[in-house]
Amino acid sequence: MNCPVCGKEMEQGTCRFYHGRAGDRRLAWVPLDFKGIMTKGRIEQSGGVVTPVHSTIFDNEEQISYCCKDCGKIVIDVR
């Protein structure tokens, strides 16, 4: 999928729940091949992103989403 904002190829991945220190709970996006513990370091090392979006529930390994790191956009199917 191409980014609707800049037109570049977006990366495939999934939106996940990131639970950091001191109750820091946020929406993260990780590449499809990400496995294991969701630490900020591991997420960023894999090419993923911990977003500033507060989230307590979004965690779905099967729902594919697309990320454009140039624009900082995530595209998710809603059905």
**Listed ranges 5-13, 21-29, 34-42, 45-53: which one lies at the site for Zn ion (CB under 5 A):** 5-13
Residue whose entry in the numeric block shows the structure tokens 């496995």: 35
Quote the CA–CA distance of 27 and 25 in Å, as a whole number: 7
Closest approach of Cβ 57 to Zn ion, in Å?
27
Stretch near Zn ion under the rule CB under 5 A, chosen from 1-9, 11-19, 25-33, 45-53: 1-9
Helix ranges, 1-79 (H): 40-45
Question: Contact residues for Zn ion (CB under 5 A)?
Answer: 3, 5-6, 68, 70-71
